[in-house]
A and B are shown apart, each in its own frame.
Chain A
Amino acid sequence: MIKVENVSKSFGGIQAVRDCSLEVARGTITGLIGPNGAGKSTLFNTIAGVFPPTSGRVILDGQDVTGRKPHELFGLGLVRTFQIAHEYATMPVIENLMVTPPGQSGESIFRAMLGGSQMRREEAELRQTAEEVLDFLKLTHVKYELAGNLSGGQKKLLELGRTMMTDARVVLLDEVGAGINRTLLGDLAKNIRRLNEERGYTFFVIEHDMDLIGDLCDPVIVMAEGTVLTQGDMTDIRADKRVIEAYLGHSDQPEAVADA
């Protein structure tokens, strides 16, 4: 579904991602873990079109999308959430959701001025969808609250909700669990799995919560120092000495050095 080929990305003298290649298979919930500074978010931003890679290619569903802009990628079915929730603060929760769907006829300025029954019908349908999504996420009670007033966890749910307002094919979740309490996190994982099974979303997930990753993701890709260290299922990853070293630092024992 997503194929990253030899992607590098530098910011001035800092090479955040270096010669990184990986693949996210269709229909999977693929995890991406790694210590802070491993380049996970930079890689995500490169895939999502926030900035082009310094070198290398990004392939989405067989199509080269390197350097495409975020709104174009959205049109190709790639949707993302943000590590720090990006809500529309002064807009009510329901409108935060209703913005997302593409191809709304009322987004044309002339239609907007003239109104008309098609726009009203679409709006009614949109509102219906948005209410279903809020129901799904158990956010119905804050429907008319301004999004800026939500708790951190609720904002994260709203991020996930936005991805449900469109027919996404692949969803990039950037630390979707951060700042969410345990109970809610369970719900979130359930929702992600449901979207994966019922709607066939492919997920690519950055997460620091190893339990959540272990619970949801197969396979799991580990990044360290800007490139892929290894990948496999969570049991293998947990046992992998190189992964432990990447997180905890190199040990002074000679065999560990030899391993690395």
Chain B
Amino acid sequence: MDLLAFGLLFLIQTVPYGIAVLGLNINWGFTGLFNVGVAGFYAVGAYTSAILTAPEQLHSIAFGLPAGVGWLASMLTAAIVAYAIGKICLRLRSDYLAIATIGIAEILRLVIKNYQDLTGGTYGIQNLPRPFEFVGGYGADLAFLAVGIVIVAVLYILIERMWRSPWGRVMRAIRENEVAAAAAGKNVEAFRLEAFVVGSALMGLAGAIAVHASKSVGIEGTEPLEVTFLLWVMLIVGGSGNNKGALIGVVLIWALWSILPDFIAAGFLPLIESAFDLSEENVEDVSRRIPYVRLFLIGVLLQVVLQKFPGGLLREKAPSLAKQPAS
């Protein structure tokens, strides 16, 4: 694959992560909601858009609507699902919320996997429309990437405003001390629900954009490892509570995740080969295992960041400190 194509693919793949990480930042960075069910909302968004926009399918229903409709619907559906879940689960605190959301995400994914008439089950849904694909060649990728970047930029601006607003201030107060926030007259349950629903809606949109980028959806594309786990690492490494940091975390971690295996294969495999005098079978075996090394390396990176940069590469900064009046 030549460099330009690889670069475009790389950047297009960061767009959904960028959207979802902003949502997760609203959950965790702003409000302190330990949502480990990202993959569930991502899947709901992905399938909503896929079902609405796909052309006729062999194994499931499809509606053939334009992609934009699918994207809006994905946000709406994820928000509705999040509202229902949040109504029940948000009374749980920290680790208990994590346990509940991780379980609910798996339930959602299992429903999707088994409800074949609707979701195609293990067949998935193919031939999704991709905006600007009529352009052809690199132009199509470029145009799609541009759409993605515009969406991320608009969301970034809106969410930065939310961070600096009284709304964001209440969220941080709830994160820091719920009891005090309630004693200061804030309806903690309602605010937490708002943050949960908005964050989850963005995760849904992320799922939708990801499946339109690859033009197909299958349940294996919503693995918690590649969605929930990676997103959490991105947010923590980049800096939770800092939208810019979160986006930097996305690019950094996705670069490691997607480039590392090739890099190791090219750089180290010959070394290992000669050092251990491996047979051909063994070489194959080793190269098959290389992708798993990245899990280990990302774990190491997470440890280093947590030790050396508690709070992430770009730390949270309170709005009143960012913009102190001149006086």
**Residues of chain A whose beta carbon lies under 8 Å from any beta carbon of chain B:** 48, 50, 69-71, 74-75, 79-80, 82, 86-92, 94-96, 98-100, 102, 104-109, 111-115, 119, 122-123, 144, 146, 162, 166
Contacts and interface: CB of A to CB of B under 8 A. Distances in A.
B184 A162 contact: yes
Contacts of B198: 109
Q: 7 closest Cβ contacts across the A-B interface?
A: A74-B185, A106-B166, A112-B165, A112-B167, A86-B180, A88-B176, A70-B182
Contacts of A146: 318
Contact of B173 (A88, A112, A113, A115): A88
Interface stretch (B186-194, B255-263, B264-272): B186-194
Nearest to B187: A71
25 contacts: A70-B179, A70-B182, A71-B187, A74-B183, A82-B183, A86-B183, A88-B173, A88-B177, A89-B177, A90-B318, A92-B318, A92-B321, A95-B169, A98-B320, A104-B166, A105-B166, A106-B166, A109-B162, A109-B198, A112-B161, A113-B162, A114-B161, A122-B166, A144-B321, A166-B185
A81 B198 CA distance: 32
B316 interface: yes
Contact of A112 (B168, B176, B181): B168
Interface string B155-174: 00010011001111110110
A162 B182 CA distance: 13
Interface residues of B, number: 31
B324 interface: yes
Given A98-B169, A109-B167, A90 B183 contact: no
The CB with the most chain A CB atoms within 10 A, among B161, B170, B180, is that of B180
Contacts of B177: 86-89
A89 B165 CA distance: 19
Given A71-B187, A166-B185, 16 more contacts: A74-B183, A88-B180, A89-B177, A90-B172, A92-B320, A94-B320, A95-B320, A98-B166, A99-B173, A107-B167, A109-B167, A112-B165, A112-B168, A113-B158, A114-B161, A115-B161
Contact of B185 (A95, A100, A109): A100
A45 to B, nearest CB: 10
A99 B170 contact: yes
B183 A80 contact: yes
B165 A90 contact: no
Nearest to B191: A107
B167 A102 contact: no
A157 to B, nearest CB: 15
Given A95-B320, A112-B166, A100 B184 contact: yes
A82 B181 CA distance: 12
B224 to A, nearest CB: 28
A69 B182 contact: yes
B183 A48 contact: yes
B324 A102 contact: no
Nearest to B190: A71
Nearest to B197: A109
A102 B165 contact: no
Contacts of A80: 183
Contact of A99 (B161, B169, B188): B169
Contacts of B158: 113
B183 to A, nearest CB: 5
A74 B186 CA distance: 9
Contact of B165 (A48, A87, A100, A106): A106
Contact of A111 (B165, B181, B187): B165
A82 B179 CA distance: 10
Given A108-B167, A111-B165, A119-B165, A88 B172 contact: yes
